[in-house]
Amino acid sequence: MAQLNLILVWLFVSTLCLYSCPSSAQLSRHHYAKTCPNVENIVREAVKKKFHQTFVTVPATLRLFFHDCFVQGCDASVLVASTGNNKAEKDHPDNLSLAGDGFDTVIKAKAAVDAIPLCRNKVSCADILAMATRDVIALSGGPFYEVELGRFDGLRSKASDVNGRLPQPEFSLNQLNSLFAANGLTQTEMIALSGAHTVGFSHCNKFSNRVYNFKSKSRVDPALNEKYATQLKSMCPRNVDPRIAIDMDPTTPRAFDNVYFKNLQQGKGLFSSDQVLFTDSRSKATVNSFASSSKTFHANFAAAMTKLGRVGIKNAQNGNIRTDCSVL
């Protein structure tokens, strides 16, 4: 009987999906070939301009894409502004630290696309964010990869949807794995995507417990490199301005490289969720592999980003193309 019920549920879901469940099959590298053939160059030029204004464009855009895809899928719902009767995703506590430069990058790229009459209101905000993310990675020395296009923008953005959907700085390997697995991503893909922290920055309050309040005699996390812990204390004194941010890669913070993984080997992971990738025997070999080969890391990162870009995509039935990325 239970088996029959399962079959009936599967048939019901399959029937629904015949008409409205989006699939990565709708994505294509040439989605805009007829409607906006030069879209990738238009976006790239806008992103380049923003990048030359501030390097923060890189981590800000990359983090925006990640926070978008992990909540309701890659549908630009993180870009939506709150209204009097709707508190949107971007106003959830976990998203308040998203840097304005990421949002500005998408706004500028969208304006550049819509300035071309042929392209106006043809390209989704979700696709613009996906392209801009690929471009900031390449501009900072990371891999250039082809972006699949054809996402529609989501029709919903609620702060409550963010609860429990984003990784936290103190997560264990099990917690990281289960969160990424919920989005169809493997442990190796999770480790590759964590490598984005090579250009990241963090506010002091996200890791201060590791240098001031850890459950050890010295109050410092023993997994932290001693010299690095001292540096962190000097950059983040106890009553530091909460707006102060420091680089997640203390060695080459402005290069998208594999040094993040080399740092982990030396106990220089800023978050415990970074360092655990090396201290846990189940993930250590992957960290070592990425640390020893930039080529291996880049290939894995590009493949993981492509897979991430397929999460929870919307189609014409459950999405649209926003004229203003901040308005549903």
Q: What is the pLDDT of residues 57-88, one digit of tens each?
A: 999 999 999 999 999 999 999 999 999 999 99
- Where residue 243 falls among pLDDT bands split at 50, 70, 90? confident
Residue 13 pLDDT more than 80?
A: no
Residue 18 pLDDT more than 60?
A: no
Q: What is the pLDDT of residues 97-114, one digit of tens each?
A: 999 999 999 999 999 999
Positions at the binding site for heme b: 197
Predicted local distance difference test score (pLDDT) of residue 11? 44
Task: Name the more confident of 4 and 61.
Answer: 61
CB 116 within 8 A of CB 40: no
Predicted local distance difference test score (pLDDT) of residue 23? 64
Positions at the binding site for Ca(2+): 68, 71, 73, 75, 77, 89, 198, 249, 252, 257
Positions at the binding site: 68, 71, 73, 75, 77, 89, 167, 197-198, 249, 252, 257
Q: Which domains are seen in the chain, by residue range?
A: 38-166+310-320 (1.10.520.10), 173-308 (1.10.420.10)
Q: Please name every residue paired with 152 in a beta bridge, in sequence order, or none if there are none.
A: 314
Q: What is the pLDDT of residues 274-285, one digit of tens each?
A: 999 999 999 999
Rounded to whole angstroms, the Cα distance separating 79 from 154 reads: 10
Residue 267 pLDDT more than 80?
A: yes
DSSP string, 258-317: SHHHHHHHTT--SSHHHHHHHHSHHHHHHHHHHHH-HHHHHHHHHHHHHHHTTTT-B-TT
Q: What is the pLDDT of residues 275-321, one digit of tens each?
A: 999 999 999 999 999 999 999 999 999 999 999 999 999 999 999 99
Predicted local distance difference test score (pLDDT) of residue 22? 58
Q: 170 to each of 123, 166, 210, 290, how far by Cα in Å? A: 38, 12, 9, 22
Q: What is the pLDDT of residues 171-197, one digit of tens each?
A: 999 999 999 999 999 999 999 999 999
Residue 223 pLDDT more than 90?
A: yes
Predicted local distance difference test score (pLDDT) of residue 7? 46
Predicted local distance difference test score (pLDDT) of residue 106? 98
Predicted local distance difference test score (pLDDT) of residue 25? 72
Question: Which residues have CB under 8 Å from 33's CB, separation 6+?
Answer: none
Among the listed ranges 152-166, 178-192, 215-229, 288-302, which one has the minimum average pLDDT value?
215-229
Task: Quote the mean pLDDT of the chain.
Answer: 93
Q: Which amino acid type is present at position 273? A: S
Residue 16 pLDDT more than 50?
A: no
Query: Average of pLDDT values for 204-210?
Result: 93
CB 196 within 8 A of CB 66: yes
Positions at the binding site for substrate: 167
Predicted local distance difference test score (pLDDT) of residue 20? 39
Q: List active site positions.
A: 67
Secondary structure class of 9 (helix, strand, coil): helix
Residue 21 pLDDT more than 60?
A: no
